[in-house]
Structure 1
Amino acid sequence: MSKWTTADIPDQTGRRFVVTGANSGLGAETAKALANAGATVTMACRNLNKAQPVATEIGPNATVAQLDLADLASVRAFAENFDGADVLINNAGVMAVPMRRTADGFEMQMGTNHLGHFALTALLLPTITDRVVTLSSGMHQIGRIDLDDLNWEKRKYRRWRAYGDSKMANLMFGKELAERLAAAGSSATSMIAHPGYAATELQGRSETVEDVFMKFGNKIFAQSAAGGALPTLYAATSPDAANGMFYGPTELFGSRGAPGVSGYRKRADDTAFRGELWALSEQLTKTEFAI
């Protein structure tokens, strides 16, 4: 596995994938690699104008569908028109943005990165035949989720802490989903992945001077978006990817390189806390999992 590349993706002919946020960056590279391996890919995107050129480049194996994870009405509309897939890849996300709220009043990062994907997965899971892959980040390490103020209504907003919280929530969700699927005797599995330090459009949205440094870092230090997509592709396609595991790059302290099992903050293994986050997420999104 240490030298795993897109050349190792098994033939995906006849398999269907949904990739959220596939209009650029990691999502676009993931969609391209899957289609190259024979898969049919639904690119679930908020910005259709940006998504369509990517789909055109991919060819007939790619279709575009409207999905705004910051609006639960959009999530439900997507689910109503969904007729099943083998794999759901929860890829879309925002990072370190100024204080904003989703259409449903959630803090934008938690609302998009976690709650939107939580609701989407709940609604689609009965028609997912193989696996769910949820994108986290090495920045989950700074996450300190406050269940009493998940949406930053009582505290002074800290954009990087909010991002870390949302990425810890992604990791906890993926692990909790894995355990619940196993306990239910489901054949479906749940994996989590992170891209290391990859150059994407995710950086440079803070609207602060930090954007200058992040764009510089993308040019000098980061690996490509295609490299960053490898852990996702491994989790989504490899027969060796295991339920509940967290995959990421294996070189330079997990920032780049071929995919492998990734370390993580052990807070993510707190099953009681994960259960509370799950229950709160169901309450906020008004969705329930059929497992």
Structure 2
Amino acid sequence: MSGWSPDRIPDQHGRRFVITGANSGLGAETAAVLAARGARVTLACRNLEKAAVVADRIGSAATVAHLDLADLSSVREFAGTVDAVDVLINNAGVMALPLRRTADGFEMQMGTNHLGHFALTGLLLPKLTERVVTLSSLAHLGGSVRVDDLNWERRRYNRWAAYGDSKLANLVFAQELARRITAAGSSLRSVVAHPGYAATELMGHSETPVDYLMKAGALLRVGQPADQGALPSLYAATADVPNGSYWGPSLVLRGGPSPARYRSIVDDQSVRDKLWAVSEKLTGVTVDVPA
């Protein structure tokens, strides 16, 4: 699939996509391509001003809705406005922030990247007709699933480790969701993607020297621009891919969509069960897969 491009996406007329964090970067590029292929796209964003600019550029196929994944009341409010959706793309994320907490007291990266999307997916699952696409990251390779301290209340905080934890949680959740979908005999799919090294607004907020290294990498084109970084998630959202499949750039950091590998811990059932249970407890959302 290394030569795959968006012009190979089938006609998307009649399909509705909800894309979190579509006010910039990968989410904005994903929304624009899907709309160009005929889809209706809902830009579910915290920053409505930026989202409006993207929606204006896309045209009438795009609508903007407020969603703050760092506030479970906002997640519930948004989910209540959705009647039916074909594809949910869990795209939004924050990276390597200094220690901050969500409205519900979660560590900001775990709260936004995983727990917010866990709750949103659970609330929208009964309204979903086709698939959930969850964005992970190569950073999951350095993550851990500490269910006894998911929100960094006991450990000395490390912003990069916390980011890795959240992206590993994305993968563990998405793959366990895929298993439960199969067990329920459902026609839904849970698919995962990662963008490789993509130059987006996600970079540059760690307030450490690493920000300069990442920006230098983007300038030197070590990775790829946002429109190329969006290819794996676009492929995962529109192609006839298997439930539980994982997609990333063919050259790892860049390139067209290709099957990707993840750490073996993602397939550890005890880890999956523990993360699922603590996620339900913290969010108050029970995620049931409809048959």
Which residue is equivalent to 1:110? Answer: 110
CA distance, structure 2, for counterparts of residue 289 and residue 111 of structure 1: 17
Which residue is equivalent to 1:155? Answer: 155
Give the TM-score normalised by the residue count of structure 2: 0.98
Amino acid at match of 1:259: P
Which residue is equivalent to 1:238? Answer: 239
Amino acid at match of 2:284: K
- RMSD over aligned CA atoms reads 0.7
Task: Provide the secondary structure at the position in 2 that maps to 1:257.
Answer: coil
CA distance, structure 1, for counterparts of residue 169 and residue 7 of structure 2: 32
CA distance, structure 2, for counterparts of residue 20 and residue 219 of structure 1: 27
Which residue is equivalent to 1:86? Answer: 86
User: Is 1:217–2:217 an aligned residue pair?
Assistant: yes
- 1:284 maps to which of 264, 282, 285: 282
Which residue is equivalent to 2:269? Answer: 271
Identity of aligned residues (%): 64
Aligned length: 288
Which residue is equivalent to 1:41? Answer: 41
CA distance, structure 2, for counterparts of residue 178 and residue 25 of structure 1: 27
Amino acid at match of 1:144: S
User: Is 1:32–2:65 an aligned residue pair?
Assistant: no
CA distance, structure 2, for counterparts of residue 217 and residue 68 of structure 1: 30
Q: Report deviation, 1:182.
A: 0.9
Amino acid at match of 2:283: T
1:180-199 equivalences in 2 (<5 Å): 180-199=180-199
Which residue is equivalent to 1:200? Answer: 200
| Runs of 4 or more above 2 Å deviation | none
Q: Is the 8 A contact 2:22 2:28 kept in 1?
A: yes
In structure 1, the gaps of 5 or more residues are none
Which deviations, in whole Å up to 9, do the C-alpha atoms of 1:255-291 show, x marking residues without a partner? 0001010011111111111011001000000000122
CA distance, structure 2, for counterparts of residue 35 and residue 183 of structure 1: 33
- 1:256 maps to which of 254, 257, 262: 254
User: Is 1:69–2:88 an aligned residue pair?
Assistant: no
CA distance, structure 2, for counterparts of residue 290 and residue 149 of structure 1: 25
Amino acid at match of 2:51: A
Give the TM-score normalised by the residue count of structure 1: 0.98
Which deviations, in whole Å up to 9, do the C-alpha atoms of 1:73-107 show, x marking residues without a partner? 00000011111110000000000000000000000
Which deviations, in whole Å up to 9, do the C-alpha atoms of 1:232-269 show, x marking residues without a partner? 00000002x11001100011xx0000101001111111
In structure 2, the gaps of 5 or more residues are none
Which residue is equivalent to 2:99? Answer: 99
CA distance, structure 2, for counterparts of residue 233 and residue 244 of structure 1: 16
Task: Provide the secondary structure at the position in 1 that maps to 2:224.
Answer: coil
Which deviations, in whole Å up to 9, do the C-alpha atoms of 1:142-171 show, x marking residues without a partner? 011211100000110011110000000000
Task: Provide the secondary structure at the position in 1 that maps to 2:167.
Answer: helix
Q: Report deviation, 1:2.
A: 2.8
CA distance, structure 2, for counterparts of residue 194 and residue 215 of structure 1: 19
